[in-house]
Structure 1
Amino acid sequence: MNPAYVALESGHVLEGRGRAPGTARGELVFTTAYTGYEESLTDPSYEEQILTFSYPLIGNYGVREERFESDRVHPRAVLARELTDEVAAWLEAEGVPAVDHLDTRDVVTDVREGGAMKCGIAVGEHATPDDAVAELERCKAMSDHTEIGSQVSVAEPTVHGADNDGPTVALIDCGVKGSIVDSLLARGATVHVFPHDATSADVDAVDPDVLFVSNGPGDPANYGAAVSLVEAFVEELPVAGICLGQQIVARALGGTTEKMTFGHRGVNQPVLDLESGRVVMTTQNHGYTVADPGAHLEISQINVNDDTPEGLDGIEYDVLTRQYHPEANPGPEDTLDFFDDVLAMASPRIPRAIPADD
C-alpha cells in the first residue's frame, strides 16, 4: 500500500494507509452514520470537503449504483478506520484520494473540539508529509468558495415526470440529492430542475405551483441568485426548502445564518416538533444553520441536542422548510410526510395576504 499523510489545521500530521492515490484539500468534517456510505459519498453537499467516517468499517455491503444520490463522488478525499477493497477501488476509479488505518476517534475528537478545519491529503508511492502540508496551505475556507453552486448544479433546466398529473414544482438545484426529486415524482409532481443561478423569467416560463430550494454545499451567503428567486416569488407561490434551502429561504425573508462549529452529519439527529411535542429521528448533513429566522418565519422544530432550528413555517406566506433530509436516503423515514405537506400547499394556489402596517 502507498504512504498516506493527512495534515490538519490543528497542526497535527497523521500517517495512514493509502487506498486511493492523489492529493486533495478541503474542509475536514465527519459523519456518524454507520450505513449509507454510498449515499454520503455521492451527496453534493460534501463538495469541497474531506469526509471522515466515524464508523470503523466502510464498505461491508458493497457498492451499488442504484443507491447513488448523484453521478459522482463529491468529497475531495475520504478518511476511515478501514475501507473495503471494493470501496477503495471505487474511490480510486473516481480519482478521490482515500486513507485508512487511521484512529478516526482522534480525528473526530479534533473536529469536535476545534471545529471543522482545513485539511491537506497526500497519497502515493512518493508522497511525503510536506506534500500534505502544502495542500493544507492552499486550502480555502468554505465561505471563500463563492462559486460552489456551479460545481454541483445542473447547467441547463431539465424536467422530470412530464406526464405526471400532480403539481408543477420549480426546483432550484443548489446540489440536489436524487432522492429528493424521486420523492416529489413518487407523489405525482412534475419537477422542473433549474440551475442555482436561474432567473425569475426562467421559473415563470413553466408556471409552477411550488418553488422548492434544494440542499447543497457551502455558505448560503454565496447563493445570491437563489435568495433573489425566493424574494421574487414568495408572495405568489408556496415556497419550500431542505437543508441549504432552509437557510436560503430564511435569508430571503430577512433572517440570518451562521457557520456551526462542526455541523450535523449523521442519521440519528433527534428533532422536536414544537406544536405536537413529537420527537423524530432525522438524517442531516450541514455545516451552517439559521441564526435568526426574522420576522416573517417562525421556528416550528428544533434540534434536541443544541436547539438549532430544524423547521421553519411562514407567518404571512406559504413557506415550509426543513434543515434535515426528510427523503431519508440514508436514514430513518420518520419525516417522509414533509413532501406531502409541500405539495398540499400547491392546492388551492391562493397567496396569503400580507397584513397592512398599522
Structure 2
Amino acid sequence: MSDAYVAIEGGRVVEARARAPGTTRGELVFTTAYTGYEESLTDPSYEEQILTFSYPLIGNYGVRAERFESDRVQPNGVVARELTDDVAEWLREEGAPAVDNLDTRELVTGIRDEGAMKCGIAAGPDATEEDALAELDQCKHMSDHTDIGAQVSVDELQTHNADGSGATVALVDCGAKGSIADSLVERDATVHVLPYDATEDDVRAVDPDLLFISNGPGDPENFEQAKSVVDAYAGETPLAGICLGQQVVASALGGSTEKMEFGHRGVNQPVRDLRTDKVVMTTQNHGYTVADNGPLEVTQINVNDDTPEGLENDEMDIITRQYHPEANPGPHDSLSFFDDVLAMTEE
C-alpha cells in the first residue's frame, strides 16, 4: 500500500513510497546528473522546486558534509526511483519530504514534453491523495516568487580570506553556491559576500576590484536591486556573473530574459566556444535564459539548443557564464573562468 502521493499540474496523482515524511509543493524539475547528488540537493538554485533525479539510484556513495554547497537541503521536495537509506535519513533530518519507488522516467518525459510544472507532495503514514492535491492547489509559478532572494541570501556582509593578497571581490549573493567563493579564495582573492538586495553604497563600502553576481533561484527579473547595482558599476568596475548572474547582468544592460520549457539541469551539458570552436562539458541548473543579450557579445552557446552560455564585453570588462564553471562535482573543463575574470582586475 502506498504511503506517498505526487500530484502534478493538471490533476494527475502518482503513488509512491515515503522516504522522508511531510507535505510540500514546488515547481517539478529534473536533473540528469548521475553523480553529485549532495551538491545538487544543497544548491540554492533549487529553492521552491521539487527535484526529480533521472538517474535511478541516488545515494550510492553516502552523504558527506564537505561536499555541500550550502548549510541545508534547498529543494522543497525530492523524487527518485530509489533513494538509499543514507540519503533518506539525511532528508528526514533536514525536514525535506522525499519519495521514491515510482517511474521517474515517465515524470521526466512528461516534463520534457510539457515543460516544468507545478507539483504537490504528501508523504507519510497518514498521507492522502487529497493532501497532495491541496499542496498542488497552493503552488505558485516560479515568476510569482517575487522575493525569493530573501530565502537563500546571506542577511549581512560576510568576508572570506580577509588578508588575501589578490583582488577584492564583491559577491552579490542571490543564492550563491559555496564553491564560487571557494574558487575565488583559492586564487587568493578577498571575497565580500553581500546580500541579494545590497545597494550601490553597500558595494562601494568594500571598494571592490570586481563585482560578481552569483547564481540563484527564480526569475531574474525579480532581482531588481542586483540589476540596479550592475547598472551603477557597468563600465566602471569589471563585472562577472554565473547562471542567474548572467541573466541579471544582461537584463540590467538593456537585454531581456525568458523562461525555458524545462531548463538545463545536469553535469553533462555541452557548450561550444564560438571563438575557438572548442566544446566543453558543463554543470548547469537554470530554468531561465537570456533572450536578448543587449550590448554583450555571445561568445559561447549550448550545443543542444543554441541558447547563450557565455556573454562578454571587452570594453566594459564584463564576462558572464550561464553554466557553473566551479562545477562541483565536475567536470572541471571550465575552471579557467575564474582566472579570466580576475585577470580583468589586473588590467
TM-score (normalizing by structure 1): 0.96
- In structure 2, give the amino acid aligned to 1:16: A
The answer as to whether partners of 1:263 and 1:286 remain within 8 angstroms in 2 is: yes
Aligned equivalent of 2:334: 335
Aligned equivalent of 2:322: 323
Aligned equivalent of 1:70: 70
Alpha-carbon distance in structure 1 between the residues aligned to 2:62 and 2:149: 30
The answer as to whether partners of 2:2 and 2:16 remain within 8 angstroms in 1 is: no
Aligned equivalent of 1:129: 129
Kindly state the Cα deviation for residue 315 of structure 1 after the two structures are TM-superposed. 5.1
Q: Give the superposed CA RMSD.
A: 0.9
Alpha-carbon distance in structure 2 between the residues aligned to 1:262 and 1:39: 20
Alpha-carbon distance in structure 2 between the residues aligned to 1:158 and 1:122: 37
Alpha-carbon distance in structure 2 between the residues aligned to 1:347 and 1:12: 56
Aligned equivalent of 1:34: 34
The answer as to whether partners of 1:31 and 1:53 remain within 8 angstroms in 2 is: yes
Check if 1:288 corresponds to 2:288.
yes
Aligned equivalent of 1:100: 100
Question: Structure 1 residues 162, 2: closer, same or farther in 2, change over 3 A?
Answer: farther
Alpha-carbon distance in structure 2 between the residues aligned to 1:323 and 1:211: 17
Alpha-carbon distance in structure 1 between the residues aligned to 2:80 and 2:321: 30
Aligned equivalent of 1:223: 223
Aligned equivalent of 1:351: none
Give CA deviations for 1:239-268 in whole Å, capped at 9, x if unaligned.
000000000000011000000000000000
Aligned equivalent of 1:57: 57
Give CA deviations for 1:159-194 in whole Å, capped at 9, x if unaligned.
000011000000000000000100000001000000
Alpha-carbon distance in structure 2 between the residues aligned to 1:239 and 1:171: 10
Check if 1:232 corresponds to 2:251.
no
Aligned equivalent of 2:79: 79
Secondary structure of the 1:125 match is coil
The answer as to whether partners of 1:2 and 1:21 remain within 8 angstroms in 2 is: no
Alpha-carbon distance in structure 2 between the residues aligned to 1:45 and 1:327: 15
Alpha-carbon distance in structure 1 between the residues aligned to 2:259 and 2:183: 29
User: Can you give the 5+ residue segments of structure 2 that lack an aligned partner in the other structure?
Assistant: none
Secondary structure of the 1:193 match is strand
Q: Quick one: percent identity of the two aligned structures?
A: 73
Kindly state the Cα deviation for residue 331 of structure 1 after the two structures are TM-superposed. 1.9
Aligned equivalent of 1:275: 275
TM-score (normalizing by structure 2): 0.99
Alpha-carbon distance in structure 1 between the residues aligned to 2:163 and 2:208: 15
Kindly state the Cα deviation for residue 48 of structure 1 after the two structures are TM-superposed. 0.1
The 5-angstrom pairing of residues 180-195 of structure 1 reads: 180-195=180-195
Secondary structure of the 1:217 match is coil
Secondary structure of the 1:166 match is coil
Aligned equivalent of 1:299: 298
The answer as to whether partners of 1:2 and 1:123 remain within 8 angstroms in 2 is: no
Secondary structure of the 1:130 match is helix
Aligned length: 347
Kindly state the Cα deviation for residue 126 of structure 1 after the two structures are TM-superposed. 1.1
The answer as to whether partners of 1:10 and 1:114 remain within 8 angstroms in 2 is: no
Check if 1:204 corresponds to 2:204.
yes
Kindly state the Cα deviation for residue 10 of structure 1 after the two structures are TM-superposed. 3.5
- In structure 2, give the amino acid aligned to 1:151: Q
Alpha-carbon distance in structure 2 between the residues aligned to 1:135 and 1:247: 30
Kindly state the Cα deviation for residue 330 of structure 1 after the two structures are TM-superposed. 1.8
User: Can you give the 5+ residue segments of structure 1 that lack an aligned partner in the other structure?
Assistant: 349-358
